[in-house]
Structure 1
Amino acid sequence: MTSVSIEADIKITWPDGHKSYSPGSPEELAIIGVDLLVKDLGTQAARSFIDQLFEKHSRAGHSQ
């Protein structure tokens, strides 16, 4: 497994305020992404979107 580090400053603007994130790993970035998807799309739509991504990668032979 390859070790990846991320340097990013993510700023989110919602109608009721702002939020900042500084993920340092792919796992932290994924958590932020999933959290934003759920807040924006709702749980079921976010789950469907993520399932489509997993299916795409499974078909491409990237499952590990």
Structure 2
Amino acid sequence: ADGGPAASAGLQPGDVITKIGDTPVDSLNSLTTALASLAPGSKVTVTYSRDGRSTTAEVTLGTLATP
């Protein structure tokens, strides 16, 4: 989301997250599970793919937005 933790760390729409910390991400379920194990405010290294290149970013996790 615009202005969210991932965007603030430089991730863009279309980036594919492949790892949260040391945990591989290969599905939405594994992404959700990896994030659920971390507390809001935690800093985590996110590995992602953009245009076929693997990159990392340090992301400070926020809280889940409620509608």
Shared fold (TM-score greater than 0.5)? no
TM-score of the two chains, using structure 2 as the length reference: 0.33
Of the two, which has the highest radius of gyration? 1
Between structures 1 and 2, the one with greater helix share: 1
Q: Greater relative contact order: 1 or 2 (C-alpha under 8 angstroms, separation 6 or more)?
A: 2
TM-score (norm 1): 0.35
